[in-house]
Amino acid sequence: MARQKGIEEWVEAVRAEFPTLSRAVNGRSLAYLDNAASTMKPRRVIDAMQRFYAEDYSNVNRGTHYLSQVATRRFESARESVRRFIGAGESREVIFTGGTTAAINLVAYSWGEAFLGRDDEVLISTMEHHSNIVPWQMLCERKNARLRVAALDEDGALDMAALAERITPRTKMVAVTHVSNVLGVVNPVKEIVRLAHEAGAHVLIDGAQAIPHMPVNVQELDADFYAFSSHKMFGPTGIGVLYGKSSILTQMPPWQGGGDMIGRVSFDGSTWANLPHKFEAGTPNIAGAIGLAEAIDYLEGMDRQRMADWEFRLAEYAIELLGEIEGVRILGPQQNNAGAVSFVLEGVHAHDIGAILDKQGLATRTGHHCAQPLLKHFGIESASRASFAFYNTMEEVERLAEGVRRVVDLFCSPSIFEEITELTNLD
């Protein structure tokens, strides 16, 4: 693949902003290829959270003292940063949660308990993360409703014709991923929203894998709910966002009770706070919100299109090089990939691949990737995954291919067990 000096110099400058990327693992420079699981953090995010804890820490809301007012302003400013970043119409449509999983559970419990009835249907797809399967299963069991599944085509892309057929007058919610965490495939969510709305159904988009790779405007998508996590977009763990249309959120009951989500409490009954606080019971992750806002400021200062183009190129190069290795099978469509490449190697378990790659400083992910139904679609139980961010390099992709070739050589070697034991420190 032809190299462009300008882009590679830009990548090297970006990498210097992420402290962890400069470390060594097992005597080799770290090649961090596990970004779909969680991304690294730029120094400015780390520093912003440290400054808050060291200089401005206090609990938010209702405090009249100076530090509480500072913390509250910073917390609510973070909410406004999220609103701007995703194109929401109002800051009250931004609900802070513990992450994408918590956001989806919030909708399943609150909206689902209020508006899903017996024999109603929730439609998901075969490629969903467990976080966008299990909450709906649990809801349907509680409400005697039906969970229906849209199939994939032979390549592993969402079969839009099959999805359209699955949407019926009984469909009350369509919950689909924007980008598959296993395949990297980008789904046509705007079209899915249109089809669902024509049938009178609501739509929740799992945006965990999309938000770090591409601009998202929830009003343009017309999504009723959009969920994502901070830690997958270069921010801290333990905080995420549920966007919801205010017209829908207003009708939904709280899903947790406690401090700060109430209007008035008495032993005869309680009333609820207005949006967004109705859904934010208890002390929030204040430092997490500040870190998320800093990550958003960082991303907004970047050329998002340049970032996306580079990540697509990295995935293309990985598909090209891995596809040349005998015995490697790449899962899913090999176009329109937003930075995740999953593969299997004939005769070798994914965990063995991951362990051998780790000894070469290559951080990849192995297992079922919280997407067991999707792997079953491909007739497998586990896979290896390399996932990319804009700070990854072509050289790291080449190291990945070299590492997989090393795995092939090891498993074809007469002294396979001795060599694998040495590489993985297994007894």
What residue spans define the domains of the chain? Answer: 5-32+303-424, 46-300
What is the pLDDT confidence band of residue 423, given thresholds at 50, 70 and 90?
A: low
Longest Cα–Cα distance in the chain:
77
Active site residue 140: no
CATH architecture label of 46-300: 3-Layer(aba) Sandwich (3.40)
- Predicted confidence at residue 1, as pLDDT, reads 42
Residues 6+ apart with CB under 8 A from 290: 48, 49, 52, 74, 75, 78
CA nearest 176: which of 192, 198, 194, 160?
192
Residues in the chain: 427
With a pLDDT cut of 70, the percent of the chain lying above it is 95
Active-site pick, 370, 373, 378, 380 = 370
C-alpha to C-alpha distance for 37 and 342, rounded to whole angstroms: 13
330-378 per-position pLDDT tens digit: 999 988 789 999 999 999 999 999 999 999 999 999 999 999 999 999 9
Q: What is the mean pLDDT of residues 201-213?
A: 98
3-state helix, strand, coil in the chain (%, to 5): 45, 20, 35
Average pLDDT (114-138) is 98
Strand, coil or helix: 301: coil
pLDDT given at position 147: 98
Q: Is the pLDDT of residue 412 over 80?
A: no
Q: Burial, 402: exposed, middle or buried (Cβ in 10 Å; 0-12, 13-18, 19+)?
A: middle
Q: What span, in angstroms and rounded, lies between the C-alpha atoms of 210 and 233?
A: 9
Dihedral sign computed on CA atoms, order 173, 174, 179, 182: positive
pTM: 0.94
Torsion sign (Cα): 94, 99, 104, 106: negative
H-run or E-run covering 214: none
Give the HSE-up count for residue 283: Cα atoms under 13 Å, Cβ half-sphere: 9
Helix (H), strand (E) counts: the chain:
15, 17
Cβ neighbors of 407 (< 8 A, separation 6 or more) are 345, 348, 352, 353, 356, 357
Rounded average pLDDT over 127-152: 98
Confidence band, pLDDT 50/70/90 cuts, at residue 9: very high
2 contact partners, CB below 8 Å, separation of at least 6: none
Query: What would be the CATH architecture of the domain defined by 5-32+303-424?
Result: Alpha-Beta Complex (3.90)
Report residue 61 as tokens: 């809301």
* 3-state SS, residue 175: strand
